[in-house]
Amino acid sequence: MPTSKPIARRFDTGSDKDAIIPTGGGEFAPSGFIAPWSAGIVTRFYTKSDQANDVGADFVKHDSKGGAQLYYKDYTAATEAAKHLGEGILNSVWRFQARVSDVLNIADKSKFQSPILAFDCDIASLVSKRRHAYHQIALPMAVYAVARGYDFDVPVFDISELTDRNTIFNDEFYAKMVGNPDANPNEPDHWLKSVLWQRRAALWAALGEPDPMKHINPEAERGRENLRTNADDLIECLKVVNRTWVNPQWARIVNVNDPKPDAVMPDGRRLTIPVVYELFHDRSAAEAAATALQGDSDEEHAAKPASTGNEPPTPSSWAGLGTDTWMAALGDAVASGKNLPTMMRELDVSKNDVEAWRAYMKL
């Protein structure tokens, strides 16, 4: 649904410098998180070194296994730090970050242990077998969100299959949606013939670019010449990802399922990909969208039976947040080793809620 009025004609990120990006059933619409988000392309690597806090990372995320993800805005600084620590694997990611206190559609913010809500989308080049997360899902979805905010006449970039609770994420679905990574260009399941790539091609064409491979602005500092676009409307839309959001942008960020069959956690939960689902002109437009989502959630909860198939009912204290958010919170609580009374108290749920959902999620 379009915003109430077009967002600013030029995406206001507060930066005029493009980021460096690698160039080598039953539909369920998740509510996501509406907030003033900061975002940008950063370089990330993992280390178990005890010097993780001493190599100038812009952000350090420690884990329970004694390791840490180090994030750098500057690629050169990241490579130097990785070399110093003896790490050789660096990844580019599109990182989204917002304060939990600023999220408009979270009913009880105390359920979040960290004051910061952050998501990463892995970025790979078009020639990589890992291209799908960014090039076939996150990038075109962001371009579509900007195009819609500008009131451009474009076809819907549909990712409903990735939010459909009835979707079976097997090899056949993966090949259909994003392509068989081992197929050659002459085979019908090659990635250039996939559903999501064809949808990207239609969106690019509507924005004046007949070549869906092109995704770099002409003034970018780096990037292959044959991947640069001169289509004005596409250039405008690409700024949402090619530039750092120095000035936070009101947006709705939604985590959609990764279609890769084996993209699952040890506990069975499917990995997700953050996407820019919607952009807003200002706070008032964002608040109106949050109110509408809350109304839809209440109506859906009232209309649904207590259980769908073998799925237990979502605890009433989490109804406004959505089942996916509840499952993620429970999974985090179990993974952190909390006992039953602690989970009941911190999650504001009953013993039956915890036991039924742990059995359902096989935690």
pLDDT digits (tens, 9 = 90+) for 49-108: 999 899 999 988 888 788 899 999 999 999 999 999 999 889 999 999 999 999 998 877
The total of structural domains in the chain comes to 2
Task: Please tell me whether residues 85 and 152 are part of one structural domain.
Answer: yes
Answer yes or no: do 130 and 119 share one domain: yes
Q: Looking at the domain assignment, is residue 63 inside a domain?
A: yes
Retrieve residue 298's tokens.
């209440």
Cβ(257)–Cβ(177) below 8 Å: no
Among 258, 283, 303, identify where a domain stops: 303
Q: Which of 262, 288, 303 is the last residue of a domain?
A: 303
Q: How confident is the model at residue 209 (pLDDT cuts 50, 70, 90)?
A: very high
Query: For residue 21, what are its two tokens?
Result: 């990006």
For range 105-112, the mean pLDDT:
78
Mean per-residue pLDDT of the chain: 83
Strand, helix or coil at 256? strand
For residue 303, the model assigns a pLDDT of: 35
Confidence of residue 195 (pLDDT cuts 50, 70, 90): very high
Q: pLDDT-based confidence at 31, cuts 50/70/90? A: confident
d(CA 281, CA 6): 6
- What is residue 307's predicted lDDT score, i.e. its pLDDT? 34
H or E segment at 28?
none
Q: Does residue 259 belong to any structural domain of this protein?
A: yes
Answer yes or no: is 290 within a domain.
yes
User: Do 332 and 362 share a domain, yes or no?
Assistant: yes
pTM of the model: 0.76
Radius of gyration from C-alpha coordinates of the chain: 21
Q: Flag whether pLDDT at 328 surpasses 90.
A: no
Question: What's the rounded Cα separation, in Å, for the pair 277 and 121?
Answer: 14
* 268 shares its domain with 168: yes
The answer on pLDDT for 2 being more than 60 is no
According to the model, what pLDDT value does residue 171 have?
A: 94
Q: What is the pLDDT of residue 37?
A: 96
Residues 112 and 195 reside in one and the same domain? yes
pLDDT band per the 50, 70, 90 thresholds, residue 302: very low
Segment among 23-32, 140-149, 212-221 with least mean pLDDT: 23-32
Average pLDDT of 204-220? 91
Question: Residue 237 and residue 224: Cα distance in Å, rounded?
Answer: 19
Question: Could you give the C-alpha distances from 269 to 196, 258, 332, 335, in angstroms and in order?
Answer: 23, 11, 11, 12
CB neighbour list of residue 225: distance below 8 Å, 6 or more residues apart: none
Domain containing residue 170: 33-303
Query: Residue 20 — very low, low, confident or very high, per pLDDT cuts 50/70/90?
Result: very low
Of residues 187 and 334, which shows the higher confidence score?
Answer: 187
Minimum mean pLDDT range among 150-154, 205-209, 215-219: 215-219
As beta bridge partners, residue 270 has 264
Per the CB < 8 A criterion, the answer to whether 53 and 41 are in contact is: no
